[in-house]
Structure 1
Amino acid sequence: MNESLLREHICILGASLYQRGLTAGSSGNISVRTDDGWLLTPTNSCLGTLDPARISKMDDNGTLLSGDAPSKEAFLHRAMYDARSQAGAIVHLHSTHSAAVSCMSNLDHHSCIPPLTPYFVMKIGQLPLIPYHRPGDPDLAGAIHGLAAKHSAVLLANHGPVVSGKTLEAAVYAIEELEETAKLFLLLQGHNPRVLTEEQIAELHTLFKS
């Protein structure tokens, strides 16, 4: 897909996320890798009203080449791209249920949400928690980079998820699955849910190469 179509695609999927209440106001950001860098939604932009021509174009070092000033969370995307050569796109949202989970105490920092469904296992796998950093804290990049090599998604404490995928569609589908599973996780609080066993998880990885 050429860069012009990628820009349009970011706008279409950004609007879809916004219209379904998965992001609000100017929160959240989307990026897509290109042959000569990556595209990123601009700072203070609403995913529901993006302009393809104003999307930020970055080089591999994170330097702005064209378009509006990039999201102040550009370093989150660059850290994940640097650690995951297979990542073609990244979506970061403050979606309600995932953000709610990120505010909970006593989470398993290695895997915030248990394997409740096969689809969560296939699209997300384990979801590690990154300790709280203030918005814009450059130290957050190192924390993400340290986990991203082994994990396609991370949860930022008191903030929200950052999810990568081979394509923009894959990243969007994965973050949607994460949001739905976070909702299930919250609904099941105080209950004794049945989670997938290690054998069932291994079977999914073998059959679906997740």
Structure 2
Amino acid sequence: MSEQAKLREDICLLAKSMFDRGLTCGASGNISARLSDGSVLVTPTGVPMGFLDPARISHLDEKFRLLSGDRPTKETPLHSAFYETRTGTGAVVHLHSTHSVALSMLPETDPDHAIPPLTAYAVMRVGKVKLLPFFVPGDPAMGDAVRGLAGKRSAVLLANHGPVVAGKDIWAATFAMEELEETAKLALLTRGQNPIGLTNDQIGAVVRKFDVDW
């Protein structure tokens, strides 16, 4: 199986897994992944993530121009911003996952630290998450907002919309996305109960051991 064929299958496999577990619903959410030649596979617009056809996934060149397949997601500028600003990005996952969106709407959520460091894996796989303001879906300004972070964050949370995570490959990006959503769920479940999160020393130990951007 060629690199491109395998990546198409992996995109569909992971997208269906997230869809089936309710991490995104309807035709929401999108995934992109970069091939070794610099071109990018992107999920098409308007297609539920649980029903993707590998053969119809959009194939874009390195400048994000359509080469083949269906029309790509309207959130493509959001994806391209991560590839442009974070060296080593091999995939980007964007969902409308319930707990993360809920956290984005609460006035007490820290915009510079939207997902609290409750567990070691939240620090290891997600790092600090920046809360970005609301944008109309598909607005290229979302990409500009990500570029404004200058590659310092691998994950952002779009207010009233959902999380976006970049990773070294599609598996890493998906695992990080799932960790982000689970941590958002923990944050909501423990809100008002004075949960004991990680201390600064504990966060530092994780950051140093796993070379996390923090």
Instruction: Give the TM-score normalised by structure 2.
Output: 0.95
- Alignment partner, residue 142 of structure 1: 144
- Alignment partner, residue 168 of structure 1: 170
- Alignment partner, residue 74 of structure 1: 76
Choose from 111, 114, 117 the match for 1:112: 114
Given the superposition, is the C-alpha separation of residues 84 and 204 from structure 1 closer, same or farther in structure 2, using an over 3 Å criterion? same
Matched residues, percent identical? 54
- Alignment partner, residue 12 of structure 1: 13
Shift of 1:199: 1.1
Within-5 A mapping of 1:26-65: 26-34=27-35, 35-65=37-67
- RMSD of the TM alignment (CA)? 1.1
Letter in 2 for 1:16: S
Instruction: Give the TM-score normalised by structure 1.
Output: 0.97
- Alignment partner, residue 24 of structure 1: 25
Distance of 1:148 and 1:30 partners within structure 2: 21
Q: Deviations over 1:159-210 (max 9, x none)?
A: 0000011011101100000111000000111111112111111111121223
The unaligned stretches of length 5 or more in structure 2 are none
User: Is the CA contact (8 Å cut-off) linking 1:103 and 1:159 kept in structure 2?
Assistant: no
- Alignment partner, residue 83 of structure 1: 85
Distance of 1:89 and 1:3 partners within structure 2: 14
2:123 is aligned with 1:121: yes
Shift of 1:107: 1.7
Matched length: 210
Q: Deviations over 1:39-73 (max 9, x none)?
A: 00000011101111100011121111110000011
Shift of 1:148: 5.6
User: Is the CA contact (8 Å cut-off) linking 1:80 and 1:148 kept in structure 2?
Assistant: no
- Alignment partner, residue 151 of structure 1: 153
Letter in 2 for 1:44: G
Distance of 1:57 and 1:79 partners within structure 2: 17
Letter in 2 for 1:31: S
The unaligned stretches of length 5 or more in structure 1 are none
Letter in 2 for 1:129: L
- Alignment partner, residue 3 of structure 1: 4
User: Is the CA contact (8 Å cut-off) linking 1:98 and 1:161 kept in structure 2?
Assistant: yes
Pick which of 151-160 and 105-114 moved more. Answer: 105-114
Letter in 2 for 1:55: I
Distance of 1:153 and 1:138 partners within structure 2: 18
Shift of 1:36: 3.2
User: Is the CA contact (8 Å cut-off) linking 2:116 and 2:183 kept in structure 1?
Assistant: no
